Structure 1
C-alpha cells in the first residue's frame, strides 16, 4: 500500500491490490513518457512512494536551458488517474485539490507547455480508445460549454465569474480596476517580486507605447487621463496596487481608443463595462456620450458610482438585446476582452450586432481579444472543456485570428472589414504574474469577507488560473490582439498618417 492513501479510494484487500498495481503501471508509464519527451528545460518528479526522478531531459546538459528547471511532488496517487488524458484540466484540478505541490507552478506549466508538441505524440491508451475519448470530450464540450452562450446562458456565465465579489478583484488589480492585458512601457519591466512601484515610465517610454506599430495619437486626444474615482469599498491591503501596472493599463486603454479612430465629441458604445476604466478614459478624452453594457450587477454598481452620469450610461443588458433596440448608431465601438464570453456558435452574430451598433458610413470598432494560434484552433474547439472554461470562465471560447476574421465577414457580409491587427501577448504574462503575486499576498485578508466562497480550494483554483495563463502567454500558446474594424473605403490609422505626410 502507498504511504499516502488515495482520497476516497479503498486500498486494502483484493481491490486494493488491483488498484495499487494499476496505479503503479499508470505512474510508471507516465513518468517513462515524460522521460522520452522533455527536451526543453528540466523536470524533477518525486512520486507518492518517495522515489525521485531527477533532471528529466532527453538532451545533453549543454543543450538545455538551465533557467527552466521545474519540479513537482505527488501527494496523492489519484493524481495519476486525474491527469491521464486530460492535460490542463487534470493538472489544474489536481493542483486545486492539493494532490501535488511544486516550488513554482508557473515554471512547471511553462516547461510542460514548451514540451507539449513532443508529448502529444505519446499516448498511454490504444489509439482507437483515445479517439473515442476525444470524441466524447467533444460531445461533453458542446453540451456543457458551447451551448450555454445563449442569451440566458451568457448572463449566468458572466455572473459566475464577475459577481463573486468586487473585493476579490480589488485584491489583485491596480487602482484603475482594469482586468485585461495592459501595455507596459517598452516591455522593459519584468517583475519577479511584489516591489514593482520602484519602476517608473518616462516620456520616451510612453512614446514607445504609442509608436509601436501605430502612429502617435493626434494632439486633441492627448489630454491627461482622468483620475480614477476611489471605490466606495476601497480597503488597505498589505500589498498596495502597482503604479506601474496602472500606467500600463492606461496606455492600453488609450491605444485601443486611438485604434477605434475616436475623436472628441464622438458617441461611443462599449461592450463589456468592467469596472468603468474605459468609460472614465473616454470621458477624459472628450467623448460626448458613452453607453457601456454589462451583465454583471456588481460591476454596474461600481461603474455608476465612478463615472459622470451626464456622460456615461451603464446598462445591465445583453449586447444582442441592446443592439436590437438601438435606434441611433454610434460613431465608435470598443470592446476589451469580452468576445471570449461570446462562444464559438455566436461569433458571427456578435459581429452582426456590432455592424448594427456602429454608423453605416463612418462607424468603426476596436476590439481586444485573447486568441488561440490557428495551428491549435481545431484541436481546441473539438477537444472538450479545458481548465479555464470549466472552472474560471464558464462558456468561454477563444477565437483564432483566422476564425475572428471569418466571423467578421459572416456576420456583416463584408460591411465591416479588419483594417488593422496588433499582437500584444507578451505583456499579459507580466501582468498575470503581478496579479498572481498580489492575489496570494492579499488572500488571507480577502477570505474572511466570504469564508464559504473564498476557501483554500478557491485560492488554489485561482492561483493555477493565473499561472496557467501566464505560462500560455509567455510560451506563445496564447496570444492577444487589438483589432480595428471599419467600413470599406474609410481610411484607417495608417491611411490617415499617409495622408498627413503627403
Structure 2
C-alpha cells in the first residue's frame, strides 16, 4: 500500500504498470512525457512484474538500490518496454515533480551526510576502487566503446552522428584548449587505455606521460604505444598522481576527477599545480552536477564506481581557489554524455550473447545495462552535466578570448579531411 502511494504521487507523466508478487496490476502515470530535440526521444510505456514479496520494504529502505538489485537478480521482470524506458520515466518524474517530497529528501540527505566516509580515497583504497571497475575484461570494453577506447563523454557538435566522430571531436576540442606546441611535455592524469595520450603525441608532436591505477589499462596502453610506433613519445606508468615528481608544460585529466573523492580535492589540485610549469595550462574534464552538492547514488556506488562522486560547480570552484589556480575557461557540456551513453548502451546490448556466454553472465549483463541506462537517463532528464575547466598559474598563459579554440578545431578538422582525401602512396616494385 505504501509503495503504491509513493508511485501514484511520483508518476504523473508517462505510463508504468506494476504487477506485484500476488499478480495484482497497478497502473501509474498520466499525460505522455514530452521531450525536445535536445533531450531526445521520450521513454515508452513500461510494464514490470515484481516477484519478490520483500521489494516494497527494500524500496522504502533505498529506492535506487531496490530497483537496481531487483533488475540484476531477475526479480524485476520487464514485460513491456526496456530498462531505459523504466529508469528514464522514473528519473523524469522525480526531477520534475517529486524531488522535494519528504521521502526523497530524507534519502538524499542521508546519502550526502555519509559522503565523506564513502569518498575517503587514500592511495590503497583508490587502487582497489579503480580495479573494481577498470580491471574488468578489456575485451568487454572493446565491444561497446569506439575504436580508440574513449571511456568518457564524447563531443557532439552539429553534423556529428557517429560515436567514432564524436570521440575524435572530443579529443580535438581538448587539444585546442591545451594550446599545444611541438616538443612540449604533457601529463595525462588518468590516461585510461591511452587513446588521448596517443592522439596528442601523433597529432601535435608532443611528449606525453600517462598515469593510471588500472593494471589492465596500463598494459593495454603500453601495447598500443608500441604497436603505433609512439613508444619514444608516449610513456605510460602505473602510478598515483600524488607520486609524480616532474614538471610539465601541459596537464590534462579526462574522466578521472570523479574518483578523487571530496576529501582529496585539495590534494589533487595542489599536486597538479606543483607539477605544472609557470606558463602551463591544465585542462580538467569531469562529470559534474548542475545543482548543489549531494551524494552518490547508493547502487552506483556499490556496484559500479566505489568511491566515486560528481562534484557541484561550487565544490569544484572552491577547491580550485584554495589551491591558487586561475580558472581561465569553464564550459558546461549538456546532454553530450546522454548521447554518448545511448551509443554505448546500444552497442553493449548488441553484444549480449557474447557478454553472457563468453565473458561474464546474465546478472552481470543486467547490472551493466542498468548502469548504462540509468546514467543516460540522468544526463538526459536530471542535472548531470560535464565540466571542462581550463586553469593556469599565470594570467597570460592562455589567450584572453576564446576564438583560438574554434580556430584550432577547424584547422585540425581541415587537416584530417585533407589527409583523408590524399591518395595513398603507390608502391613501385623494382625489377632486375
Q: 1:471 to 1:385 in 2, by over 3 A?
A: closer
Match of 1:47 in 2: 20
2:233 is the counterpart of 1:260: no
Gaps of 5+ in 2: 36-41, 408-432
Match of 2:236 in 1: 314
Match of 2:427 in 1: none
More strand by share: 2
Distance 1:50 1:398 in 2: 40
TM-score normalized with structure 2 length? 0.84
TM-score normalized with structure 1 length? 0.73
Superimposed CA distance per residue, residues 428-455 of structure 1 (whole angstroms, 9 cap, x where no aligned partner)? 11221221122122132244544xxx12
Match of 1:359 in 2: 277
> Is the Cα contact below 8 Å between 1:267 and 1:287 reproduced in 2?
no
Distance 2:397 2:270 in 1: 22
> Is the Cα contact below 8 Å between 2:183 and 2:206 reproduced in 1?
yes
Q: CA deviation at 1:65?
A: 3.5
> Which of 149, 152, 157 does residue 129 from structure 2 map onto?
157
Distance 1:150 1:187 in 2: 43
> Which of 119, 123, 133 does residue 98 from structure 2 map onto?
119
Distance 2:6 2:109 in 1: 23
Q: How does 1:92-171 map to 2 (within 5 A)?
A: 92-102=68-78, 103-117=81-95, 118-123=97-102, 141-143=115-117, 145-147=118-120, 149-171=121-143
- CA-based RMSD of the aligned residues comes to 2.6
Superimposed CA distance per residue, residues 351-378 of structure 1 (whole angstroms, 9 cap, x where no aligned partner)? 1111011112x11111110012223x2x
Distance 1:261 1:286 in 2: 10
Aligned residues between the structures? 392
Match of 1:305 in 2: 223
> Is the Cα contact below 8 Å between 2:248 and 2:280 reproduced in 1?
yes
SS in 2 for 1:183: coil
Superimposed CA distance per residue, residues 236-281 of structure 1 (whole angstroms, 9 cap, x where no aligned partner)? xxxxxxxx21111111011112112222222101001111111111
Q: 1:41 to 1:447 in 2, by over 3 A?
A: closer
SS in 1 for 2:136: coil
Q: How does 1:64-79 map to 2 (within 5 A)?
A: 65=34, 67-71=42-46, 72-79=48-55
Q: How does 1:418-429 map to 2 (within 5 A)?
A: 418-429=327-338
Match of 1:372 in 2: 289
Q: CA deviation at 1:137?
A: 5.2
> Is the Cα contact below 8 Å between 1:74 and 1:101 reproduced in 2?
yes
Q: How does 1:12-23 map to 2 (within 5 A)?
A: none
> Is the Cα contact below 8 Å between 2:7 and 2:28 reproduced in 1?
no
SS in 2 for 1:359: strand
Match of 1:482 in 2: 388
Gaps of 5+ in 1: 1-27, 190-243
Superimposed CA distance per residue, residues 169-191 of structure 1 (whole angstroms, 9 cap, x where no aligned partner)? 111111111111111241764xx
Match of 2:362 in 1: 456
Q: CA deviation at 1:50?
A: 2.0
Distance 1:480 1:394 in 2: 20
> Is the Cα contact below 8 Å between 1:44 and 1:53 reproduced in 2?
yes
